[in-house]
Amino acid sequence: METGPRYNSRMAQPLAKKVLLIGWDAADWKIATPLMDQGLMPTLDDFVSHGVMGNLATLRPVLSPLLWNSIATGMRADKHGIHGFTEPDTQTGGIRPVSSTSRKVRALWNILTQRGYKTHVLGWFAGHPAEPVNGISVSDLYPYATQPLDKPWPLPPGAVHPESMRDTFANLRMHPAEVTEAAILPWIPRAAEIDQEKDRGLASFAKILAENLSIHNAATWILQNQPWDFMGVYYNGIDHFCHGFMHFHPPRMEGVPEDKFEIYKDVVNNAYRFHDMMLHTLVDLAGPEATVILCSDHGFHSDHLRPRGIPREPAGPAVQHRQFGIIAMRGQHLKEDERIYGATLLDIAPTVLTLFGLPVGEDMDGRVLVQAFAESPAIERIPSWEQEPGECGMHPADLRMDPAAAQAVLQQFIALGYIQKPNENQEKAVATAVREANYNVARVYLDSRRPKEALPLLEELVKGSDEARFRQHLAQCHYMLGQRAEAKAILEDLIANPPKPPEQAETTDERQETRDDGQETGDERRETSENPASAAQELNAGNGQRTTDNGQTPIVNRQSSTEDPPRPWADWLMGVIHFEEGNTEEALACLLRAEQADPRLPNLHLRIGETYLRRQQLDDAERAFRRALEIDGDSPEAHLGLAQVKLRRRQNEDAAEEALLAVGLQHFLPLGHYALGVALARLGHPHRAALAFETSVSMLPGLVNAHRWLAALESRPGGDLEKAASHRKLAADLLKRRREQMSAAVNN
């Protein structure tokens, strides 16, 4: 296989000689930043001081198999083909874990292989069997110890490519039994107090540590012994340590025994410090000529937003995930000591391609992070990498995974709580896998504002199951399609016929309660597609519980019963519908009932704030938005709400500041750019205001008032009169269309 990059007319000048992409699953600035400030993560602190850092917005559903493959491809899950943790196995008639053959499109390492770069990838989620890239591939099954230390534990077939490197990498692994007292005590000084017959915490700790050290050993060996242009290495440690021990993280949660808290309270912080040490080694071995990118697929709740329990359903632990992960980049041609805004995990792959001077596929959903570069890079484009000729190092889709290896992955997913033990009836197991995949794809469609594509999937799911999670997403879908009556009917039925409590449930998949946050807010809500039921899922967090990876049930939480009042999200969603219908009094009554049931929910306070804003109760609106920020300081919608309050009060400088914070946290926020434009126009910055308005209508063409503002700004002396006329006509056409739609609705 060719070992040097092949250049052609569609390649810009490379900006990076080498790129090292490091994945820390679930890493979160909320934990890392205080540790950096205390000098406990010196490598990361130095890294960001010589590069850029920022939040990395995740996608929904917040499930790692989908997300890490979106990072690697720049595409959402409906395109890349990884739709969950398991899928039907056409060869056995049962199910299997998702694998490298499940991915339908080329990942970064395939594209770079095709262009002749020496490329290595290690431990990537759904990376087994190892792909035949132009370099070394180590699958995510590589570190699993399937036998005791005193018995042989050979690598599963397909764990390493090329096969000639199999013995070398087998010897680099670490077994959990090799985690000695010397390794344990710095993390858990009171480990001797643990009754290991009843408490599996140490066993869980040793397993996670050994697996991540195995991946790290493999990565460092390659950097020391092999030529390379690109390396992608994935560590699951932070995510697994957090799922196992976050309920012991300070401050102590209600229901956590004090003695257990004292034993395990430092595990999560030490996990971050451990990753900082590994980062130091990787950066040092990569050398100064390498561009290094550090990212995570999502964050992890570590404060008062930690859920009181884990939903008893597939992928229930995802309720602990936070909407923002981390991004940090350092290298030539990048800015230094700067914060970047508006990044999403879809942007990683296009940015890496641009660093290599390669074109970005137009079918990729992400964009190049131009804000990270010292000078705007040249960005080349091609329709798709899928049509480009050349060997790319992908397996044929029908390659069979070794049954023993497949079972090992399934057991890992079960231990983490991401899947339940598959039904012994293969037909039922396959039906469950298909159901969950379709559900996840429907949520991908909703998250990307494609409700028409989600509707048939959700309707089919509701036909086959009475689960509330399917019905609430169907209600959301109808709402996004403007079908409020249908959404209302589903909601009223849910209130009248609430789901059975866990003790009486017929299935363990009873409810979906993963964390999804709401979308844009504001005065022009009627012009936007919304996501009410997604945000409503937050309101469910805390009903049901699951044993964690360390074998303990962390929190005794409230269980629902048949005597409970309607679940808070039902009042919440009904309040949103009343708000959209203009009945702010009834909307406020519903939302305040939901607040009384659970006052911690940021999206609930956003809706309360919007309702007060519509009623011109500005002081009440500001209190609600600030309450939302007290609960979640990274809420772009709360900053947008405050911007709108400030605009109403003509406090334009404050409004501009809040709007900038909003679009910095979430770039795709049309009303945020619109509010920024209004503030800047009032402050006498017409050119900057026009740019903000143009950004808002590029995201949401139906923003009538943005077109009006642009028409007015372009009509000024020195403006573009042709543009002014165009925007004036667009505004008039939109208003005419809206009146026709309203008239048709009344007549029907």
5-63 pLDDT, tens per residue? 554 545 678 999 999 999 999 999 999 999 999 999 999 999 999 999 999 999 999 99
Rounded to the nearest integer, the mean pLDDT of the chain is 86
CATH number of the domain encompassing residue 363 = 3.40.720.10
Report yes or no on 453 lying in a domain: no
Does residue 544 have a pLDDT over 90?
A: no
pTM exceeds 0.95 for this model:
no
Report yes or no on 38 lying in a domain: yes
Region of poorest pLDDT, from 425-434, 503-512, 716-725: 503-512
pLDDT given at position 135? 98
| Confidence tier at 602 by pLDDT (50, 70, 90) | low
Cα distance between residue 412 and residue 85, in whole Å: 11
Nearest 10 degrees: Cα torsion 175, 177, 182, 186: 80
pLDDT given at position 87? 86
Section 479-492 average pLDDT: 92
203's tokens: 């066993």
pLDDT given at position 453? 98
Is residue 39 within 8 Å of 293, Cβ to Cβ? no
Residue 54 DSSP label: E
Report yes or no on 439 lying in a domain: no
The structural domain count of the chain equals 1
Q: Give the residue carrying structure tokens 């697929």.
A: 297
Does residue 586 have a pLDDT over 90?
A: yes
In three-state secondary structure terms, 3 is coil
Residue (of 547, 394, 546, 415) closest to 144 by Cα position = 415
Section 211-225 average pLDDT: 98
Q: Give the residue carrying structure tokens 């710095």.
A: 186
Report yes or no on 445 lying in a domain: no
Q: Give the residue carrying structure tokens 């107090």.
A: 193
**pLDDT 10s digits, 376-390:** 999 999 999 999 999
Q: How far is CA 657 from CA 231, 661, 663, in A?
A: 39, 6, 10
Return the percent helix, strand and coil in the chain, to nearest 5: 50, 10, 40
**pLDDT 10s digits, 336-351:** 999 998 899 999 999 9
| Confidence tier at 572 by pLDDT (50, 70, 90) | confident
pLDDT given at position 745? 62
Report yes or no on 250 lying in a domain: yes
Domain extent, residue 44, equals 18-404
Is residue 409 within 8 Å of 100, Cβ to Cβ? no
Helices marked H in 287-383: 348-355
Report yes or no on 385 lying in a domain: yes
Contacts of residue 397, defined as CB under 8 A and 6 or more positions apart, other chains included, come to 101, 104
Query: pLDDT: is 727 or 423 the higher one?
Result: 727
Report yes or no on 197 lying in a domain: yes
Region of poorest pLDDT, from 114-128, 495-509, 579-593: 495-509
| Confidence tier at 127 by pLDDT (50, 70, 90) | very high
Query: pLDDT: is 547 or 317 the higher one?
Result: 317
Type and span of the H or E element at 604: helix 602-614
Report yes or no on 449 lying in a domain: no
Is residue 314 within 8 Å of 416, Cβ to Cβ? no
Does residue 307 have a pLDDT over 70?
A: yes
**pLDDT 10s digits, 652-661:** 999 999 999 9
